[in-house]
Amino acid sequence: MTTALDLVQLSRLQFGLTAMYHFLFVPLTLGLAVLLGIMESVYVMTGREVWRRMTKFWGVLFGINFAMGVATGITMEFQFGMNWAYYSQYVGDIFGAPLAIEGLMAFFLEATFIGLFFFGWDRLSKIGHLVVTWMVALGSNLSALWILVANGWMQHPVGSRFNPDTMRMEVTDFMAVIFNPVAQAKFVHTVSAGYVTGAVFVLSISALYLLRGRHVDIAKRSMTVAASFGLAAALSVVVLGDESGYTAGENQKMKIAAIEAMWDTEPAPASFTLFGLPDQEARRTDYEIKVPWMLGLIATRSIDGEVPGINQLVAHAQTRIRSGLVAYDGLQRLQADRNDVEARARLAAHADDLGYALLLKAIRPDILAATDAEIQQAAWSTVPGVSPLFWSFRLMVGLGFFFIGLFAVAFTLASLRRLHGSRLFLRVALWSLPLPWIAAELGWYVAEVGRQPWVIEGVLPTFLAVSNLSTGSVLTTLLGFVAVYSVLLIVDVYLMTKAIRQGPAPAEPELSAEPDLAAAPAAAE
Amino acid sequence: MFDYEILRLIWWALLGILLIGFAVMDGFDLGAATLLPFVGRTDAERRVVINTVGPVWEGNQVWFILGGGAIFAAWPPLYAVAFSGFYLAMFLVLFALILRPVAFKFRSKIEHPAWRRAWDGALFVGGLVPSLIFGVAFGNVLQGAPFRFDETLRMTYEGTLLGLLNPFALLCGLVSIAMLVMHGGAWLALKAAEPVAARAVTFMHLAAIALMALFAVAGLWVTIGIDGYAITSEVAHAGPSNPLLKQVTRESGAWLANYGTHPWTLAAPVLAFLGAFGVIALSGLQRPGLAILASALSVAGVIATAGLSVFPFLLPSSLDPNASLTVWDASSSRLTLAIMLGATAVFLPVILAYTAWVYRVLRGRVTLAYVSDNTTSTY
């Protein structure tokens, strides 16, 4: 019940819900933008009018989805300041830069050219319009890059250090922030997942048309494009999985241990738990079915890399909390006397562990007086909820392998030119429509819930990052966002369905009669 | 390269440029949306209005997003204090701006009159509410906001939404509405065909006169009715970004001090008046292109006046004046400011170049014939 929810929980709920809403539209924008670019490129190269009609038809659906992506994205840019003011103050020096560069380099590009994508067909040359379409695709992909540079830094905060004079984290090496291995792994994985979403979307709706025998010319071609593009993307999303970055940091290691429900370090290479029932209270996993070597290979990309277990990581967290308390003590002395050189040196020597000491703030305000039991309690608070991560991850990976299978069949049928021969396949393709969204939301959940209790891994606990707002204010906006987004989502699905039922515009007779004549379309103006 | 003090000054100027960019670019489509129910009487006329901004509003709105991102990157304490302090007001702005993208896109998809009226209402709200709140925000910057910091720089805000909507702030909100309606009118006078253009000219004239009157009243109010703020301790221009290391007093007339010490700053309020006057004069001479340029200069003058009046303050604190955010103690680190300056120097000219190209491609007036001939490809 809401009365039982405190400020931190309400703020997390609002951020989580608005981000999940936004992430319903982002993957389709990423994938469909590239598919539009491919379809229009074929049109420009072959001059066949049917490819232009295809681009325009999928473009209508792209536009409806894009509007929702923009509407839900505006909130994201400002919510850090609104609900996470201490976060913004504490890490804005680093985190703000990729967001601003995203605007400068990517979102401007995407948003400026999207108008011409819709309004420029008769005002631009064929090549001119094709460039516009690819600029939209480039903009959306660069946008994902910078957002994931920002997000990757939250998971693995490199290139920065704590400055006691400004009481915040400050950047020391911006190149390290950009080329953060976690960010790079996330970018490839997320963009590939977006391509899979776009490809499944096109595949499913084309399957619907083929099942009904409507718009067959466009549906078959669309399906062929989606099958080849989707197969490459589905392979990439699994092979270049997000977990390749999980060995990079302490919390990333905790995340993979929690995903695996692996309580103790195993000798390398560790085995992968295919099935099990994790029990967080008893700190064990029952009824495990294990695949030897698999985890070691996935997580470390080697046969001799060790994957640490939860118990060992918690023990290490205890050490870091004690070290962090030394830093905290130094900081307190420094605040009393800014010229205390010895305190400054002590803080600098232990600054990397300061965040671990801050975990104690959830237990008592005067953390320097913490008992051994409280330190141990704080160390155990670094373990995220094991069962939800364990199951979300397995469902997501299962879906990932399903997509490879789906696109492999689609690709084979397309190569044999038998796409509309198999009604069973077409039905499977149609009913697969919601699956990439489920996989994407699960992936987002694993990445962000697996980061808990940190908002910035090892630097700032989530519960300290919130704004000092009244729960009433946050509850008001939470209900407001849910209400407006839900209404818009219903309208969005309704308009999408309407556009799909209407289908592509009919071919203009004088142009479709002889495809080669379409090479010279009427350019108005 | 640049030292910390110069970088802070550059980023203060860039903050102004980005806000002016937002008000000039997104301002005309906010103003046009506010005018929508008044200058478009039939569905076809309203579609003329909507299609003048239809292809460009998305890019324009990025000025707002970029403004938020740039404040986050260059002035993190300002980002944290302003958006969490003005929490519910910010929610109203977001609510209105969430309606805009979908209203443009969804309105055209169904022809039913009730459906279209509903989205016309959404566009009107989406134009009017942000125009009002942005002005209200400036009004509160001039008065100071009730916030303080503890020693870890955690901020507490002790105001309410109703406290933000005080008489002076509402006056600033009206200045902002008049300014953006004038600018939106100038846009429609340039881009829409008759009969929309003629009606837009009428509203633009009224708004320009209202802007001059309201701006003058606000100036008078600042002179005699509102205390400004001044730093009384030694200022470390290249010191650490910690707003708790200085002393500030409230005193009447402090917001006029910069005009005395640097008379060239008077150019900003003069530009605000001259621009608004030019809008009227140039549209009378049948020069809509020059009229919108005059309107843009007036917008720039109004925003620059606010910024120059409070300099070096970004957001004063009425609760604990010493905790006020200033150019000298609320910025990012020197390295971040330098990196962001580099990124802006590279990308801003590129943005301006392709934006100019897009407007060139889309040149010409939107006519009733164009929207009725292109029912599926336009909004």
pLDDT value at position A515? 42
Q: Which of B145, B102, B138, B195 is nearest to B15 (CA)?
A: B138
Three-state DSSP state, B220: helix
Place of tokens 């301006």: B352
User: In this complex, do B83 and A81 lie within 8 Å of one another by their Cβ atoms?
Assistant: yes
**Contacting residues of A for B56, CB less than 8 Å apart:** 112, 115
From CA B4, how far away is CA A16, in angstroms rounded? 37
pLDDT value at position B1? 64
A47 touches chain B (CB under 8 A): no
Choice between A253 and B70, residue whose per-residue pLDDT is larger:
B70
Q: For helices A126-155 and A181-212, give the axis angle rounded to 10 degrees.
A: 130
From CA A148, how far away is CA A170, in angstroms rounded? 19
CA contacts within 13 A on the Cβ side of A63: 30
> B110: which 2 tokens?
């169904």
Share above pLDDT 90 across residues of chain B, in percent, rounded to a whole number: 84
- Each residue's pLDDT tens digit, A352-382: 999 999 999 999 989 999 999 999 999 999 9
Q: Which of B211, B207, B199 is nearest to B175 (CA)?
A: B211
**Contacting residues of B for A72, CB less than 8 Å apart:** 98
Q: Residue B167 CB: number of other CB atoms within 10 A?
A: 10
Assess contact for B51 and B378: CB atoms under 8 A. Answer: yes
> B8: which 2 tokens?
């802070």
Residue A452 dihedral angles phi and psi, to the nearest 5°? -60, 150
**Contacting residues of A for B74, CB less than 8 Å apart:** 96, 100
ipTM strictly over 0.85? yes
Peptide bond into B195 cis (omega under 30): yes
- The amino acid that residue B229 corresponds to is Y
Assess contact for B27 and B57: CB atoms under 8 A. Answer: no
A473 touches chain B (CB under 8 A): yes
CA distance A116 to chain B (A): 6
Most A CBs within 10 A among B57, B162, B333, hence the mutation to make, goes to B333
Q: Which of B299, B161, B319, B143 is nearest to B221 (CA)?
A: B143
> B205: which 2 tokens?
């004239």
Share above pLDDT 90 across residues of chain A, in percent, rounded to a whole number: 72
Least confident of A30-34, A334-338, B226-230: A334-338
Residue A163 dihedral angles phi and psi, to the nearest 5°? -115, 110
**pTM score of the predicted model:** 0.92
Nearest-by-CA chain B residue for A82: B84
From CA A48, how far away is CA A152, in angstroms rounded? 43
CA distance A278 to chain B (A): 38
Element (H, E) at A279: strand A272-279
Burial code (b: 16+ CB inside 10 Å, e: under 16) for B314-352 equals bbbbbbbbbbbbbbbbbbbbbbbbbbbbebbeebbeebe
A435 touches chain B (CB under 8 A): no
Question: Which candidate from A75, A97, A116 shows the least CB-CB separation from B361?
Answer: A116
Three-state DSSP state, A239: helix
**Contacting residues of A for B325, CB less than 8 Å apart:** none
Nearest-by-CA chain B residue for A162: B333
Question: DSSP per residue over A322-361, as a string?
Answer: HHHHHHHHHHHHHHH-TT-HHHHHHHHHHGGGHHHHHGGG
pLDDT value at position A243? 60
The angle formed by the CA atoms of residues B340, B247 and A161, to the nearest 5 degrees, is 35
From CA B78, how far away is CA B228, in angstroms rounded? 19
Choice between B322 and A519, residue whose per-residue pLDDT is larger:
B322
Least confident of A3-12, A504-513, B113-122: A504-513
Q: Residue A326 CB: number of other CB atoms within 10 A?
A: 18
**Contacting residues of A for B83, CB less than 8 Å apart:** 78, 81-82, 85, 88
Least confident of B98-102, B173-177, B204-208: B98-102
> Residue B262: pLDDT above 70?
yes
- Each residue's pLDDT tens digit, A452-470: 899 999 999 999 999 999 9
- Contacts of residue B49, defined as CB under 8 A and 6 or more positions apart, other chains included, come to B32, B35, B36, B39, B40, B188, B192, B196
Element (H, E) at A170: strand A168-171
From CA A202, how far away is CA A11, in angstroms rounded? 36
**Contacting residues of A for B123, CB less than 8 Å apart:** none
- Each residue's pLDDT tens digit, A489-522: 999 999 999 999 999 988 765 444 444 433 333 3
